[in-house]
Structure 1
Amino acid sequence: MRPLAFSYEQTFMSTPISLFDYYLPPELIAQEPVEPRDSSRLLVLGGGVKGGKEGLGVVKLEHRKFSDVLNYLRAGDVLIFNDTKVFKARLRGTIREKEIEVFLLSSRSNSSSVTAAVGEVWGGGSVWTSLIKPGRAVQVGDKIIIKNLKAEVLEKKEDGTVLLSFEISSERVIEFANEHGEIPVPPYVKKVPEKLETYQTVYARETGSVAAPTAGFHFTKELLEKIKGQGIKIEFVTLHVGLGTFRPVKSETLEEHEMHSELVEIKSEVAQKINAAKKEGRRIIAVGTTTTRALEGVAALNNGSLPINGFFDEVNIFITPGFKFNIIDGLVTNFHLPKSTLLVLVSTLAGRENILRAYEEAVKEKYRFYSFGDAMLIL
């Protein structure tokens, strides 16, 4: 029996999405990562901004290299990463001899493992929620041919996705995709990297994402060892990044936006370490908005109270102004798209005016933006 899927959304007075807009010159959109990864730039936004405080004076901004993040961490801090792993989810195939693109997305199963839950088990095969382009070419019952792999369209959904039935298991579908598919980089990245490792964190281990948790790109194995050497604890949660990453806020207000669900796993031993840190007054610093949604989503389902327990289920959380953060005390994050749910999230944490001021400064100083771009540290 499947665990129940929960949802949680904060509802406030009408908030126009236009409040979360800014101008970005196209040339500042990073097209490839820097090497070494921790040589990227870091904009530090400090001053105890947690909770979306506005109008409390000028928040301090500092310009650093990412490797300088060590100077802002202290012994006892708990740095939490999302260890999801990207697979080559974009495939080319045909329907009735017409060329199509198949984009595999995550779905649920009866499994106790996040990795095995990516594709829904169906007999000896698997069923996947997918996107197909062009969508008008698809009808229920259609047979899709992708090289020597076949799939059948089971259902077309109102949100534009389809259910595809494969004759092989989800693990074998992923193996096939990694051999024959393309790296699912965002549309603003014009050149697809040759190696999947380019669009992967160095600590990725749980396969299932169609987009990388890009705040983690800045961490090298050497930097992680230095962090551990300073007495800073490193823990991992898993959130498989899906369709919602590519879905912009098209509604005029935040309240009208339909938030996506994401599969989350927090192991019991990790939950216990988080609870202990909060009880002892030690800082929890999330690496990335996906880690933030995992942690705060689980806490919200617990009515915002501690302790939290081990968790394996879907979480649907839209963090908007007025939200009370219960777990995280700081955030490592990249620079996000205008009018996106992620920009709303960081604005809720640090204050909208503070974030827009920081973004204006980043544009002025020619920081690199988005997935392969530079980073922010919010404390």
Structure 2
Amino acid sequence: MKPPDLYFELPEELIAEKPPLHRTESRLLVVDRKKKNFIETKFDRIIEFLDENTLLVFNNTKVFKARMYGKTENGKEIEILLVERIDDRKWKTMVKNSRKFKIGTIVNFSGFEAKILEKIEEFRLLEFKETLTFEQINQIGQIPLPPYVIYRRKKLGLPLYTKEDEERYQSIFAMKNGSVAAPTASFHFSEKLIEELRSKGVSFAFVTLHVGPGTFKPIEGEIENYQIHREWIEIDNENIELIKKSKISGKRIVAVGTTTVRTLETLSMIYGEITNFKPYAGYTDLFIKEDFKFKVVDSLITNFHLPYSTLLLLVYAFAGKELIKQAYSYAIENKFRFYSYGDAMFII
């Protein structure tokens, strides 16, 4: 498979620049892999497709205010994205217009001083003078909205950031700081919907994958030669046991989002049979593409993804390239909203 297979033309007006008024008001396209057909509905009606034989697995990562603005000693303005904490004081970062800032540059971010130590591929290693906690970062930083949301708002003359983004560019399950992009499939779930699902007997489990900026990076060149980004994942004993018990008993494992898929299938690659699964904390660089054998996930809830993305390639692998191409064509023709704040797809 070559990258042209990952291209589709999307009218700009279908890029969702803001979330719907209420989480469950988004539209839902149910894609049936056996019947090869589509059902169009509202997200709050997903309850009709779930029952007591279902385990929903969510990613409970939390987006932190990773975008920070500062000034160098000579007064130059600088914008960075905190990508990954290395230790108490060091962070791997992305620096906008990085060529303008030499190694050794001292930067002040709202009273917090840092030094650019070295270049690591497209990243810069920053060392802060003192430990910078997530609580402090969330006081001085900004929610790192996706570039296409910012682009769309600029074009429409809208405010680039709103107070609403702080709530809505998170899922209701967001607990563990560490992501610079959100696991957007879970945006569509409200507390009310969760209670309705629980009343119907649906079970819930949680994993953690801290989403990095690589999620937006397009595949360039041959897919076989592409090196996917690595991301940190965690899953504790309580949730491992719940997933094992559910899978062994024949329950349907529904992954909410591609990040959840990568986490669960990483465990399969590490431990093999589901009975051998154990708690895990470490990096994953699992690249799911054509002919991948899914061993844990039975169904997938996901948003509509960017062309040339590893996320779209994962969805191709899960449901079949031609079916997903048809689904995307249907969604475009019927004016579904795309990307982070957009509508959802449920692949059954």
The TM-score, its normalising length taken from structure 1, stands at 0.86
1:285 corresponds to: 254
More helix by share: 2
Q: Residue 30 of structure 1: CA displacement? A: 0.3
The unaligned stretches of length 5 or more in structure 1 are 1-14, 49-57, 109-119
Is 2:26–2:43's contact at 8 Å kept on the other side of the alignment? yes
Deviation per residue, 1:93-134 (Å, 9 max, x gap): 1223211101101235xxxxxxxxxxx22xxxx110001111
2:153 corresponds to: none
Which residue type is aligned with residue 84 of structure 2?
S
Give identity over the alignment, percent. Answer: 41
The unaligned stretches of length 5 or more in structure 2 are 151-159
1:235 aligns with 2:205: yes
2:291 corresponds to: 322
1:144 aligns with 2:122: no
1:169 corresponds to: 131
Is 2:216–2:309's contact at 8 Å kept on the other side of the alignment? no
Deviation per residue, 1:8-58 (Å, 9 max, x gap): xxxxxxx2111111111010000000021101100000134xxxxxxxxx6
Matched residues in 1 for 2:36 and 2:9: separation?
21
Mean Cα deviation higher: 91-100 or 329-338? 91-100
Task: Say how many residue pairs are matched.
Answer: 337
Deviation per residue, 1:207-246 (Å, 9 max, x gap): 1111111001100000011111111101111111112123
Is 1:20–1:352's contact at 8 Å kept on the other side of the alignment? no
1:78 corresponds to: 55
For 1:263-302, list aligned pairs within 5 A: 263-302=232-271
For 1:209-224, list aligned pairs within 5 A: 209-224=179-194
Which residue type is aligned with residue 168 of structure 2?
T
For 1:1-379, list aligned pairs within 5 A: 15-48=1-34, 59-95=36-72, 96-108=74-86, 120-121=87-88, 126-158=89-121, 160-171=122-133, 174-190=134-150, 191-195=160-164, 196-249=166-219, 251-303=220-272, 306-379=275-348
Deviation per residue, 1:140-179 (Å, 9 max, x gap): 2211111211001121112x101111133242xx223212
Q: Residue 306 of structure 1: CA displacement? A: 4.1
Is 2:218–2:307's contact at 8 Å kept on the other side of the alignment? no
Matched residues in 2 for 1:183 and 1:243: separation?
13
Provide the secondary structure at the position in 1 that maps to 2:115. Answer: strand
The TM-score, its normalising length taken from structure 2, stands at 0.94
Is 1:90–1:177's contact at 8 Å kept on the other side of the alignment? no
Note the aligned Cα RMSD (angstroms).
Answer: 1.3
Asked which structure has the greater RCO (Cα within 8 Å, sep 6+), the reply is 1
Q: Given the superposition, is the C-alpha separation of residues 80 and 305 from structure 1 closer, same or farther in structure 2, using an over 3 Å criterion?
A: closer
